[in-house]
C-alpha cells in the first residue's frame, strides 16, 4: 500500500509543480493573504474534506475522516510570502512587485495539497483522521499559528508533523533534531530622549548618541555576564538611528534589535536585565528612556518519540546517508505553538541544487528550490500518518509499516 500511495504521489508531481508555480507567481504577504487561502480551500473542498476557512483569521483546515476509528494526525504547511523583489530569471517569477515566495512556503502548500489528494483516495482504509493545517502569516510576529490554535485547529488532534525546505542542505537530505530545533525570537525597541544642541557645545546637551552607544555595549554584558554560559542567548542590535547633521547633537535616538534563546528562564532573565540596563544607563546620562520588549514565537521543541519516528521513516525511505542530525538554529518558527499543545516534530528537507541555480539562502531575491523536494515531504508525511495510526490502532494490522 505504501508503494502504491507513493506512486500516486509521483504521478501528481506535475500538478504539484503547477500549484507551486501558480502560488509563486501570485504571492501574498503575511496577514494579507486572500486568494491563496481561497485556492487552498477550493482544492480541499473538491477532495470532499470538511473545510474550515478564516481559522484564526486567514487560515484553512481540512479534515479527512477515515473509514475506521483511530487517532487524529495533523500536518501543517504555511503559505505567506515576503516583501522582497523577485530577481530570478524564470518563467514562474513573481508577478507582484516587491513580493515573492523567498522561503519555500509555496512549495510547502503544494506538497501538502498533494498529500491530501493521495490520502483522500484511501480514506475508507484510514484507521483515524487527518487534519491538514494551511497556515497564514508565519513570517511576521505574532504569526498565524497562535491564533489558529486558539481558534481550535488542534481540537481532537493527537500528534502533528511539519517540514520546511532548506536551501542550506542539498536536495535529498533530511535534517533531524530531537529537542530544541528553533529558538524563540523576541524584539525590542529603545527610545532615548536627550537634549539636542550644537556639536561645539556638548556640555549644554544630553547627547543621545553617546548614551545610546554606551547602551549598545552594556547590553552585550547581559549575555556575557548574566546568562549561564552553558546556555545559549543572543542580543543583537539591528539598527541605531539618530541625528542628521555633522554639527548637530540630536535630541533623540532609537535602537531596535532582537533576542534569541532556547530557554524560557533565560528569556525572562534577559527581558528583566535589559530593562534595568536601559534605565540605569540612560538615567546615569540624564536622559529619559522608553523600553519596549515584544515577545515573539517560543522555541520549537521536537518531541523525542515523534522525532525518532521521523528519523526511522526517513532512514527507511531515503537511506541512512540521507538523514543528518543537525544542530539547532537561532531562527524562529511559529510551529512552536503547535508542539506546545500536542506532541510532534519539525524537520528540514534539503532543496538546494546548483544545477538549477537553487543555491541562494532563504529570503534572498534569487531564492529557489528543487521542486522534487515536494515528493520527499509528501513521502515523509504519508509514512508518518500511517506509521502513527497503525501504531495506535487496536487491530494492529492493515497499513502497518514494514521496517527495513
Q: Which of 259, 207, 252, 214 is nearest to 237 (CA)?
A: 259
pLDDT at residue number 401: 44
In sequence order, which ranges of 12-164 are alpha helices (DSSP H)?
13-25, 35-46, 105-120, 145-150
- Work out the percent of the chain whose per-residue pLDDT is above 90: 96
Does residue 396 surpass a pLDDT of 60? no
In degrees and rounded to multiples of 5, residue 350 shows phi and psi of -60, 135
Tell which CATH architecture fits domain 2-183+299-391.
3-Layer(aba) Sandwich (3.40)
| Cα 30–Cα 364–Cα 179 angle in degrees, nearest 5 | 70
Q: Which of 158, 121, 114, 154 is nearest to 135 (CA)?
A: 154
Q: Does the predicted model carry a pTM greater than 0.85?
A: yes
The verdict on whether omega for the bond into residue 142 sits within 30 degrees of 0, i.e. cis, is yes
Task: Compute the average pLDDT of residues 385-391.
Answer: 96
Q: Which of 62, 84, 79, 64 is nearest to 20 (CA)?
A: 79
Is residue 2 very low, low, confident or very high in pLDDT (cuts 50, 70, 90)? confident
| Cα 71–Cα 298–Cα 259 angle in degrees, nearest 5 | 165
pLDDT at residue number 94: 99
What's the distance, CA 52 to chain centroid?
22
C-alpha cell read off for 192: 532615548
Does residue 400 surpass a pLDDT of 50? no
Task: Compute the average pLDDT of residues 110-122.
Answer: 98
Is residue 398 very low, low, confident or very high in pLDDT (cuts 50, 70, 90)? very low
Task: Compute the average pLDDT of residues 17-27.
Answer: 99
C-alpha cell read off for 388: 502513527
The domain spans of the chain are 2-183+299-391, 188-294
> Residue 317: enclosing H or E segment and its boundaries?
helix 304-318
Q: CB–CB of 225/296 below 8 Å?
A: no
Q: Which of 206, 294, 292 is nearest to 242 (CA)?
A: 206
pLDDT by residue (tens digit) across 58-81? Answer: 999 999 999 999 999 999 999 999
C-alpha cell read off for 26: 501570485
Consult the annotation and say whether 364 binds a ligand: no
Task: Compute the average pLDDT of residues 165-180.
Answer: 97
In degrees and rounded to multiples of 5, residue 120 shows phi and psi of -65, -25
Task: Compute the average pLDDT of residues 129-134.
Answer: 99
In sequence order, which ranges of 97-138 are alpha helices (DSSP H)?
105-120
Task: Compute the average pLDDT of residues 293-303.
Answer: 97
pLDDT at residue number 394: 60
CA distances from 231 to 7, 258, 262 (A): 46, 17, 8
Give the mean pLDDT of the chain: 96
For residue 304, what are the β-bridge partners? none
- Phi-psi group of 56: left, alpha or beta (phi > 0 → left; psi -120 to 50 → alpha; rest → beta): left
**Sequence-ordered list of residues with C-beta below 8 angstroms from that of 353, at least 6 positions apart, any chain:** 170, 171, 359, 369, 370
pLDDT by residue (tens digit) across 316-368? Answer: 999 999 999 999 999 999 999 999 999 999 999 999 999 999 999 999 999 99
The verdict on whether omega for the bond into residue 89 sits within 30 degrees of 0, i.e. cis, is no
Q: Which fold has domain 188-294?
A: Alpha-Beta Plaits (3.30.70)
Q: CB–CB of 138/105 below 8 Å?
A: yes
pLDDT at residue number 403: 42
Does residue 395 surpass a pLDDT of 90? no
In degrees and rounded to multiples of 5, residue 299 shows phi and psi of -70, 145
pLDDT by residue (tens digit) across 100-115? Answer: 999 999 999 999 999 9
Query: Terminal CA-to-CA distance of the chain, rounded, Å?
Result: 16
Residue recorded with cell 538523514: 323
By annotation, the residues acting in catalysis are 80, 138
Consult the annotation and say whether 363 binds a ligand: yes
Does residue 397 surpass a pLDDT of 50? no
Task: Compute the average pLDDT of residues 121-144.
Answer: 97
pLDDT at residue number 193: 98
pLDDT by residue (tens digit) across 274-292? Answer: 999 999 999 999 999 999 9
C-alpha cell read off for 237: 542590535
Residue 395, classified by CB atoms within 10 Å of its CB into exposed (0-12), middle (13-18) or buried (19+), is exposed
Amino acid at each position: 500500500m505504501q508503494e502504491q500511495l507513493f506512486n500516486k504521489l509521483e504521478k501528481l508531481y506535475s500538478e504539484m509543480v503547477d500549484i507551486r508555480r501558480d502560488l509563486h507567481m501570485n504571492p501574498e504577504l503575511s496577514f494579507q493573504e486572500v486568494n491563496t487561502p481561497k485556492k487552498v480551500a477550493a482544492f480541499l473542498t473538491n477532495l470532499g474534506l470538511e473545510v474550515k476557512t478564516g481559522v484564526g483569521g486567514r487560515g484553512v483546515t481540512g479534515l479527512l475522516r477515515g473509514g475506521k476509528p483511530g487517532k487524529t494526525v495533523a500536518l501543517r504547511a504555511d503559505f505567506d510570502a515576503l516583501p522582497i523583489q523577485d530577481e530570478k530569471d524564470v518563467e514562474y517569477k513573481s508577478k507582484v512587485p516587491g513580493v515573492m515566495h523567498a522561503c519555500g512556503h509555496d512549495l510547502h502548500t503544494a506538497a501538502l495539497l498533494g498529500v491530501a489528494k493521495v490520502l483522500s483516495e484511501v480514506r475508507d482504509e484510514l484507521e483515524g483522521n487527518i487534519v491538514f493545517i494551511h497556515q497564514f502569516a508565519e513570517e511576521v510576529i505574532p504569526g498565524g499559528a497562535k491564533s489558529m490554535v486558539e481558534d481550535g485547529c488542534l481540537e481532537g488532534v493527537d500528534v502533528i508533523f511539519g517540514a520546511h525546505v532548506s536551501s542550506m542542505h542539498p536536495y535529498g537530505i533530511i535534517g533531524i533534531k530531537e529537542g530544541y530545533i528553533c529558538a524563540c525570537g523576541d524584539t525590542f525597541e529603545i527610545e532615548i530622549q536627550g537634549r539636542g544642541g550644537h556639536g561645539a557645545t556638548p556640555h549644554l546637551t544630553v547627547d543621545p548618541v553617546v548614551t545610546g552607544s554606551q547602551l549598545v555595549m552594556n547590553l552585550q554584558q547581559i549575555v556575557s555576564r548574566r546568562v549561564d554560559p552553558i546556555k545559549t542567548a543572543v542580543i543583537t542590535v539591528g539598527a541605531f538611528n539618530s541625528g542628521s547633521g555633522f554639527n548637530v547633537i540630536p535630541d533623540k535616538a532609537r535602537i531596535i534589535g532582537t533576542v534569541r534563546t532556547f530557554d524560557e528562564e533565560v528569556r525572562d532573565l534577559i527581558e528583566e536585565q535589559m530593562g534595568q540596563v536601559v534605565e540605569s544607563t540612560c538615567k546615569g546620562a540624564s536622559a529619559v528612556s522608553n523600553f519596549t520588549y515584544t515577545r515573539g514565537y517560543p522555541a520549537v521543541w521536537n518531541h523525542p518519540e515523534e522525532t525518532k519516528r521521523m528519523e526511522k521513516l526517513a532512514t527507511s525511505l531515503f537511506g541512512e546517508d540521507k538523514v543528518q542530525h543537525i544542530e539547532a538554529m537561532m531562527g524562529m518558527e511559529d510551529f512552536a505553538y503547535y508542539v506546545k499543545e500536542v506532541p510532534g516534530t519539525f524537520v528540514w528537507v534539503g532543496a538546494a541544487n546548483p544545477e538549477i541555480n537553487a543555491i541562494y539562502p532563504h529570503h534572498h531575491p534569487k531564492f529557489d528550490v528543487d521542486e522534487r523536494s515536494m515528493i520527499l515531504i509528501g513521502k515523509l508525511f504519508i509514512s508518518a500518518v500511517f506509521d502513527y495510526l497503525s501504531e495506535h490502532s487496536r487491530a494492529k494490522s492493515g497499513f502497518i509499516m514494514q521496517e527495513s
